[in-house]
Amino acid sequence: MRRTIGQTFHNYNQVTSTNDLAREKAELGEEEGLVISADEQTAGRGRLGRSWIAPPGTSIQLSVLLRPRLSPRSAHGITQMAALAIANTLREIAEANPINIFPVVSLKWPNDVLLNGMKCAGILVETRVENETLVFAILGIGINVNFAMRIYPELSGFATTLSDVFGKQIDRSALRNSLLDNLDAYYRRLVNSESGPSDILKEWRAELGTLGQTVRVLTQTGIEVGIAEDVDIDGALLLRQADKMITLYSGDVTILS
Ligand code: BT5
């Protein structure tokens, strides 16, 4: 079967952000599946313009151009299928690089993949929507690979790298190939059937370590505390508070208990 994701692949030494370059190509009409990867980003970003950092030549930073026939409302399915693909990739790495205790791979609402409870990968999906139609989506993925997270004291309390967990350097190109294979398979599942988005949502929900925990969520309008009870059909977090249930569409979660 002809693959979609990664049939065209470009690697750059240095870019501002792989998402910027992929977006430029998308605006020029490039086909879906294009992957832009870089050894170094000078302005890698997360959500809300926050920065994403990694030493040059150490990690995976790539963006995939997608043109799914999904409603803009279902675009969260792209983040979810990517989280599942990354999690599967990390499990494959763990199988190939055995250590004493098999590391725990879990997902964190809304866009993180954790290894032993620490952030190892982040996902940033940026879309172009016109007349309520999704024209394209840029799926950006950062995975921390071969550096010691302690070089970034501001991150080391909650983030980790593959070399920190496995105690050795991990082959980046093998990791990238496995990631692209997993993304291609999960993307196919997302878009190739009517029930794709709801199946992916179900699978993502089942791997969310966040549910059932008491959490603090930093949103754009303030801080909310409650029990992370469930996610709804839009991927939004349902937070139970003393007298009510609130719905959060984005935010940063810290688990309190
Ligand atoms: C994310 O945002 O986690 C999405 C990260 C996406 C990065 C990829 S790399 C390829 C592509 N091109 C780009 O320019 N971006 C994408 P968010 O949930 O908003 O998390 C951002 C926060 O994570 C920052 O404010 C830091 O606190 C923290 N952070 C920064 N670098 C990190 C790293 N390498 N590992 C773990 N956390 C990090």
Write out the chain's pLDDT in tens, 257 residues.
Answer: 789 999 999 999 999 999 999 999 999 999 999 999 999 999 999 998 899 999 999 999 999 999 999 999 899 999 999 999 999 999 999 999 999 899 999 999 999 999 999 999 999 999 999 999 999 999 999 999 999 999 999 999 999 999 999 999 999 999 999 999 999 999 999 999 999 999 999 999 999 999 999 999 999 999 999 999 999 999 999 999 999 999 999 999 999 97
Ligand 1 and 44: CB distance under 6 A: yes
* DSSP 8-state class, residue 208: B
Ligand 1 and 218: CB distance under 6 A: no
Pocket test for ligand 1, best of 52, 76, 139, 164 (most atoms within 8 A of CB): 52
pTM, 2 dp? 0.98
Residue 75, SS3 per DSSP: coil
Q: Residue with structure tokens 């801080």? A: 223
Ligand 1 and 50: CB distance under 6 A: yes
> CA–CA distance from 182 to each of 60, 89, 112, 177, 199 (Å)?
15, 7, 17, 9, 16
Residue with CA at minimum distance from ligand 1 atom 30: 52
Closest CA to 253 of 53, 108, 113, 118: 108
Is 18:62 a contact under the CB 8 Å cutoff? yes
